[in-house]
Amino acid sequence: MDYLNGLNPSQKAAVEQTEGPVMIVAGAGSGKTRVITYRVAHLIQKGVDPFQILVLTFTNKAAKAMRERIYGVVGTEAKNCWMGTFHSVFAKILRVEAEKIGYPNNFTIYDTDDSKSLIRSILKELQLDDKLYNANFVYNRISSAKNNLISASEYQQSEQIQAEDHSTGRGKIGEIYQTYTQRCFKAGAMDFDDLLFKTNVLLKEHPDVLYKYQNRFKYIMVDEYQDTNFSQYLIVKKLAAIHENICVVGDDAQSIYAFRGANIQNILNFEKDYPDLKIFKLEQNYRSTQNIVEVANSIIANNKNQLEKTVFSKNEPGDKIKVVRAFSDNEEGKIVAEKIAEERSLRGLNYRDFAILYRTNAQSRAMEEALRKLNIPYKIYGGLSFYQRKEIKDLIAYFRLTFNPNDEEALKRVINYPRRGIGDTSIERIIVAADQHQLTLWEVICKAQQYLDSRSSGPVANFALLIQSFQALAKNSNAYDTALHIAQHSGLLKELYDDKSVEGLSRYENIQELLNGIKEFSEREDIEEKGLDIFMQDIALLTNDDNDKDPDADTVSLMTIHSAKGLEFNQVFVVGLEENLFPSQLSLSSRADLEEERRLFYVAITRAEKKLTLCYATSRYRWGTLTSCEPSRFIEEIDPSYLDIDFKVPQKSSSGNSFDEERSSWQQKETYSKPKPASLPKTKSILPKAHVPSAGFVPSDTSNLQVGMEVEHERFGFGKVLQLEGTKPDVKATIYFKELGQKQLLLKFAKLRIVT
């Protein structure tokens, strides 16, 4: 057991406590992954059958990393653990048990695009306004219901839910949800949320199945437990009910996914479910300098709702945290780009050692422009996944249709691509015939001459024969041979090859890359089943986090803070630290929302290993209007002894040029006058003090707000309304505040108290 020698006392104790309920509270950079993997290895070394160990993660990348580490300790036995994401593990169980809940074992897994496409079709059929019933909104509403285990029928029967929908003028969402559920079932398809929702249904309605898996999984571990939603929490609780050898690992200070259903109470209240719980705290941060750790601690201390722990670092103290002020978002980008170039040169770093983190994707524009001007290579993460590209989705739709011809979304995507004489009119006739005769679209297509006119039936019948030929081949061929045959005989490969444009060449190369990946899959020795359907199951369950950056690519990383969770960089720039941007304006209405924003800031800070820079702009374009900004309250919450406030103030122009002209000249010269560090202010007093709201401050109904009225804002103080423009609900008010000057605010977010 030499592997235990490399653990600190807290880590070792957590690894060795294998029996009963355990919670490991793991601070940022505290070696969490090492503890989880060594704990699994320790179980196997003690004689536990790896088939009885279940490890649940949130990304395939995390599961793969753990499996490789365990393999290094215990060898090939590591392959026998049930280890993967919640969705992949329970999809595997559902493949085995699907028929018990009325699904075929070869059910299709719809991704977000498939689900939204189906919702748009339903909206069209129900003749609903797609602007009021926005597909994204409807999808998120259905997703939220499923994550809270509310079925379509329960949704429609809930007076509270119905009242909420009617209050927004969207009283038909329940009907859409019901139709969506029926159509997915008819198509033999589950969406991502169904993989958890249907698992709960399976375990609830079939006690024999529950008992089977309770006894199979005698040891359960859950990574990032703070990110679990109600559905995941309930599955884990049910599976662990007999043996109670459950170990959850997480950090409440890094719970940042409430918007997608994560419930921080799952980790905060874990002890209530298991009174004999043993708690271990991993508090030593191995990643960051002492100053970075102390700044993170001073920030998160402002949250009231948290588990007690004291994170510390034995690394060097390191540089103080720089705070940089810019006059605009463009100037902010310029300063950041120049600092990256300077730091890379002075410290001998690579571009991949730097990351720029922001609250919203829109902030990347100014950063990109500035990096390009200095010829600094960069990559944006969280963008379009390889598997979301049109040409890839087109070929995969053929694959899906081969194994599940009832997959309605795949069928509609490729029935006339490449063009084969099946136009929109023919497709409409197929849909109408299917509805009239209570058949699937595929059943109508297979009997085209019976249900369609002679003009339409020929091409449709030929399409049916094409798919049937793919099905026959797939039964006896490996993944690559099947995929290549489909790509060639569907006409898709020729379609892309014939397009000689730059974009066409890129799309053709992407298809080749997909086929290369399938070839590699077909030649793997660690799996027995190598059919295309097995490959399809794997890629259907990829998470956004699995589209990881190439570790060898020497580029600066640009990403939202949400995308950065779990990553680390030598130097990190957190930009856009302004009120109403970070924290987000939408988070200021409740303590819970504000505390989540603060946890997000904590995550951003703790991505940095050696150096951290915080940036904000004093003006930024919002809703097409240049507005003044004030620094984020989060900067004010940091102990000033850890800050090095570094404001890049341009020298006054002797030429009389305007600010924009002067800035342009700096960009051309790529240099500007830098004040000496000794002259920089070192106290927090330079940041504007926040307004203290009047006692009993309550926002007023501003629907009748008029020009000339006196108002009070929670942070901006007292002001006078100068102008109102726009139509409800997007009315903008121009207000002159006594302390801060003129600002433009959207009334629906502003939370103003009318004084007179």
CA distance 616 to 19: 49
Residue of 69, 325, 598, 607 with catalytic role: 607
- CB atoms under 10 Å from CB of 697, counted, come to 12
Residue of 12, 17, 18, 33 with catalytic role: 33
> Which residues have CB under 8 Å from 585's CB, separation 6+?
749
Specify whether 254 is catalytic: yes
Cis geometry, peptide bond prior to residue 650 (ω within 30 degrees of 0): no
CA distance 4 to 42: 9
CA distance 513 to 263: 39
Q: What number of CA atoms fall less than 13 Å from residue 215's CA on the CB side? A: 5
Q: Phi-psi region for residue 75, left (φ > 0), alpha (ψ -120 to 50) or beta?
A: left
Bridge partners of 733, per DSSP, are: 724, 745
Q: What number of CA atoms fall less than 13 Å from residue 449's CA on the CB side? A: 3
SS3 state at 578: strand
Residue of 32, 172, 400, 622 with catalytic role: 32
Distances (CA, A) of 292 to 256, 349, 558, 602: 20, 19, 20, 10
Q: Phi-psi region for residue 558, left (φ > 0), alpha (ψ -120 to 50) or beta?
A: beta
CA distance 233 to 263: 9
Specify whether 224 is catalytic: yes
- The residue with tokens 């505390």 is 595
Specify whether 34 is catalytic: no
Tokens at 412, concatenated: 């509609």
Angle in degrees, 0-180, between the axes of helices 532-540 and 479-489, rounded to the nearest 10: 90
Residue of 194, 223, 227, 343 with catalytic role: 223
SS3 state at 629: coil
Please report, as a single letter, which amino acid is at residue 283: E
CA distance 260 to 229: 8
CA distance 730 to 273: 46
> What are the two backbone dihedrals, phi and then psi, of residue 279, each rounded to the nearest 5 degrees?
-110, 130
CA distance 7 to 80: 25
Q: What number of CA atoms fall less than 13 Å from residue 9's CA on the CB side? A: 0
| Inter-residue long-range contacts of 162-170, CB under 8 Å, 24+ positions, other chains counted | 169/132, 170/132, 170/133, 170/137
> What are the two backbone dihedrals, phi and then psi, of residue 584, each rounded to the nearest 5 degrees?
-65, 145
> Sign of dihedral through CA atoms 372, 376, 377, 382?
negative
Residue of 11, 57, 59, 254 with catalytic role: 254
CB 220 within 8 A of CB 239: yes
What would the 3-class secondary structure string for 462-491 be?
HHHHHHHHHHHHHCCCCHHHHHHHHHHHCC
CA distance 606 to 29: 8
> Which residues have CB under 8 Å from 336's CB, separation 6+?
324, 356, 367, 370, 573, 575, 613, 615
> What are the two backbone dihedrals, phi and then psi, of residue 720, each rounded to the nearest 5 degrees?
-125, 135
Q: Which of 51, 40, 50, 48 is nearest to 3 (CA)?
A: 40
Residue of 191, 193, 224, 332 with catalytic role: 224
Q: Which letter does DSSP use for residue 573 in this model?
A: E
CA distance 461 to 422: 10
Element (H, E) at 247: strand 246-250
Cis geometry, peptide bond prior to residue 677 (ω within 30 degrees of 0): no
- The residue with tokens 């049930």 is 82
Specify whether 216 is catalytic: no
Specify whether 223 is catalytic: yes
Specify whether 756 is catalytic: no
CA distance 35 to 50: 17
Q: Which residues are catalytic?
A: 32-33, 223-224, 254, 607
